[in-house]
Chain A
């Protein structure tokens, strides 16, 4: 260990309103599974009414601690004091009776029952008759306390609702049991940014109502956004015990988690990609029901391109359509300029495409195969002939092992599921490298991969790209996209809406681009109405330095076309209205040639969030309306939209 982590602040020193005794104090918890020592002396102290972050790299023991506290796993050693009394939890049932519930990572709901039945699942097991009337009433009250009454249809089957709604059901279920302590295990893993925002609102409400919440996560931004204190685990031990979140920096937390200074996970901000090189994969107007409507993009030789967007935007489905896993209804795919129509994955593999799907267990690993055969599975598919010819690949396998940092004897391990998420992912990447693909597609490549291994996967991908492979990465983690990819194609509601070099982007702009198009409908209507009335053109955009990030553009009068479109990110000088953009004055600004006159107005949501700028472009030759009423009109219209369209992401 090179850098010693800073001393953890003792719990409760100089902090506000801390009750003298914690509501829960677990100390010296130990747990061994088979030969793995999952916990070797973990401590956790929680105070009533706080949101407590439980952090750690993968395999640090976060989930195990949570499961011990919620009675799902029995500890081997250590003690737990609950409200000052020692307790012995043998089952999760006992924990629930004490008021401790865990909201599971993979939800534990019954998909064929309704939302209402799931909320009161525990009561279905009691003797006697059920009163659906009173259950309905109580469910309504519970959702009211969460402020989410409208968000959850009580009579819908759980199978039919979204992951975010399912989580809400889990929370309501915990409330129905009168839980004092609710443990959230990676609750944001499958949520889009707006849904995360809503979850945090719910968590804040719960906290105000006096519940204690544990937030298990490895997304640091979220930890800073929601938690009061954090406990950090490393290798089954507590390395930072109940430290105030505000007293820590991101770098310090990472140091606690990995035990050494990580300079940066991303080696450097990616340079502008190789622009001159030929496109390897081109996708034009791809359509694949039900989620992919119109997607176009291309990936060059030696480039890492990103496909960003929210969960449900159709990113994974786009990849599957390209790979032949999903039927296409329209559009064109070209590989090295030639039309490419994969009917099944085998066609894509033969053509030199590799896909690493999001869910390694479901779509990647063959559990009954040794690691070696898992590695050679792609070879098995690509290989023509009756036999196996595994030996033919021996040299290449050895070469890959060095790259993977995997000792050769582990290749014979019978069960790949015993490997860490990161190593599993590396083996799956190597499966394709064995075939020397020309296109490598990765869906959420670092999902469930700890921070330490992430950086080695990133450098592996860079090396692959340097060798001339076109790499396409889908990720919900915007930071990852920005750090890894040279260019990002943003998708929203099944449409590709922007294609931007990541050097000019940041997370905020990506979030705006990725917002669901459904929320743009009103916005477009408003813009259209405005420009029709005034016979001009209009746009909604973010502005940063000398660059415009156009979120929406509507042209009514061809002569007033501003020279950019929705999704475009031109420099001011590349538009037809550079002067107006630079000035952003209170009045109309005429361009040098006097052909166009534009008004650029800052807009805010009703809650006062900065929502970027709205521009109105009119024919400079015609008479201009007075600027002030037009400005007011734009401001009012936009404040309305943004308060209605709760889908729009807030910005800070």
Chain B
């Protein structure tokens, strides 16, 4: 093989990588926004962008895991709402770390229940998590007495406003979580098993992989991270509302899909999801900067979702043998 063809094949494989294509798209979008609005590239605005990415970004990690095994989790927004209320109640009695741990455990437990029903009995993920969505939201109202909780301990704000080397701790957490998820998905037995299950469940089972456990795990992660996300959201506004997290599932799914993951499972990457989150936040932010009515945001993001899926389909059908 000569050097030239080696070069082109490296280029080809780079361009073939989903993340690289998505990064290109994100940079293009950034460039357009920078031209349209002089404020876009201001340091303050960029930090603002990252800050706005934290909540949906953390939830999108769990959603990526779920979508990678070919599932879907519609309950993340409601789990966030419920665990947020539980956090608020726990903070009345326990110390901050214990209260957060309880909320995260509760989220994980809810995910375990959904995951168990889906994986053990082969129920449709859409239906089970739809049911869980309704249950969690209703419990959130019941537990909170349908009022928001605002007498939170002042220390809670520290988890957002402490800065490490100039980076706010919530943004830092976001990146650390993404780094961990990336390592897990690419360099551990569990991560590769999740990909294998999503790509071909039967083959994974026949090869002797633990399909049941690793089909449940993504829902646990998703539930737990919903709780983590709502903790940051609550700390930021220092108030907890049973309505919090409404619509979060759609944002998270949108980020994962824009990030190039296949809803049939097996295909997608955590880096792609992060880029997907940034693209979504950038569109929102850009439209705000340009004084476009916020009612247009849905249309813009919706169009990007459909365009992302279309591009992915066109690219993959060209290389597919089917």
A residues in contact (CB < 8 Å) with B: 323, 325, 344-346, 348-350, 355, 357, 362-369, 373, 377-378, 380-383, 385-388, 414-415, 417-418, 431
Contacts and interface: CB of A to CB of B under 8 A. Distances in A.
A366 B203 contact: yes
A285 B207 CA distance: 26
B126 to A, nearest CB: 21
B203 A346 contact: no
B195 A368 contact: yes
Contacts of B189: 380, 383, 385-388
Contacts, number: 84
A417 B188 CA distance: 25
Given A368-B266, A368-B267, A369-B196, A386 B190 contact: yes
Contacts of A417: 321
B196 A377 contact: yes
Contacts of B13: 414
B202 A381 contact: no
B204 interface: yes
Contact of A378 (B208, B266, B319): B208
Contacts of A346: 208-210
Given A368-B199, A388-B187, A345 B206 contact: yes
Nearest to A384: B189
Contacts of B210: 346, 381
9 contacts: A325-B206, A363-B203, A366-B203, A369-B195, A377-B196, A380-B196, A381-B210, A387-B189, A388-B187
Q: Quick one: which of A346, A355, A385 has the most chain B CB within 10 A? A: A346
B193 interface: yes
Contacts of A382: 208
A387 B200 contact: no
A417 B198 CA distance: 17
Contact of B207 (A350, A378, A386, A418): A378
Contacts of B208: 345-346, 348-350, 378, 381-382
A380 B199 contact: no
Interface in B266-294: 266-267
B164 to A, nearest CB: 27
Say what secondary structure dominates the interface of chain B: helix
B205 interface: yes
Contact of B203 (A348, A350, A377, A385): A377
Nearest to B197: A366
Given A344-B212, A349-B207, A368-B266, 5 more contacts: A344-B205, A349-B208, A367-B266, A369-B195, A386-B189
Contact of B209 (A355, A365, A377, A385): A377
Nearest to A418: B321
Contacts of A323: 206
Nearest to A33: B321
B192 interface: yes
B63 to A, nearest CB: 18
A448 to B, nearest CB: 14
Contacts of B267: 368
A381 B159 CA distance: 39
A366 B204 contact: yes
Given A368-B267, A418-B321, A380 B192 contact: yes
Interface of B: 13, 16, 187-190, 192-193, 195-196, 198-200, 202-210, 212, 266-267, 319, 321
B98 to A, nearest CB: 27
A345 B200 contact: no
B288 to A, nearest CB: 38
A363 B203 CA distance: 4
A377 B207 contact: yes
Contact of A381 (B195, B209, B319, B321): B209
B101 to A, nearest CB: 22
A357 B207 CA distance: 10
Contacts of B206: 323, 325, 345, 355, 357, 363-364
A364 B267 CA distance: 18
B205 A373 contact: no
Contacts of B193: 380
B68 to A, nearest CB: 10
Contacts of B212: 344
B207 A381 contact: yes
A150 B196 CA distance: 46
A325 B205 contact: yes
A380 B321 CA distance: 27
B187 to A, nearest CB: 6
Contacts of A386: 188-190
Nearest to A374: B203
Nearest to B266: A368
Contacts of B205: 325, 344-345
Contacts of A366: 195-196, 199-200, 203-204, 266
Contacts of A388: 187-189, 192
Q: Quick one: which of B204, B207, B319 has the most chain A CB within 10 A? A: B207
A446 to B, nearest CB: 19
A323 B203 CA distance: 13
A362 B209 contact: no
A387 B187 contact: yes
A357 B193 CA distance: 19
Contacts of A345: 205-208
Nearest to B196: A366
A348 B114 CA distance: 29
Nearest to A412: B13
A138 B208 CA distance: 51
Contacts of A378: 207-208
Contact of B199 (A349, A367, A383, A431): A367
B200 A365 contact: yes
A541 to B, nearest CB: 40
A351 to B, nearest CB: 10
B39 to A, nearest CB: 41
B199 A362 contact: no
A380 B207 contact: yes
A378 B198 CA distance: 16
Contacts of B190: 386
Contacts of B321: 415, 417-418
Q: Quick one: which of A373, A381, A417 has the most chain B CB within 10 A? A: A381
A355 B16 CA distance: 33
Contacts of A350: 208
Nearest to A324: B208
Nearest to B264: A368
A257 B101 CA distance: 68
A442 to B, nearest CB: 12
List the 10 shortest-distance A-B pairs measured between CB atoms, nearest first.
A349-B208, A381-B208, A368-B199, A368-B266, A377-B207, A346-B208, A381-B209, A366-B199, A345-B208, A363-B206
A445 to B, nearest CB: 15
Q: Quick one: which of A323, A357, A380 has the most chain B CB within 10 A? A: A380
Contacts of A362: 200, 202-203
Contact of A431 (B204, B207, B319): B207
Nearest to B321: A417
Q: Quick one: which of A366, A367, A380, A387 has the most chain B CB within 10 A? A: A366
A415 B320 CA distance: 9
A369 B207 CA distance: 14
Nearest to A320: B206
A425 to B, nearest CB: 14
Contacts of A325: 205-206
Contacts of A368: 195, 198-199, 266-267
Nearest to A346: B208
Contacts of A367: 199-200, 266
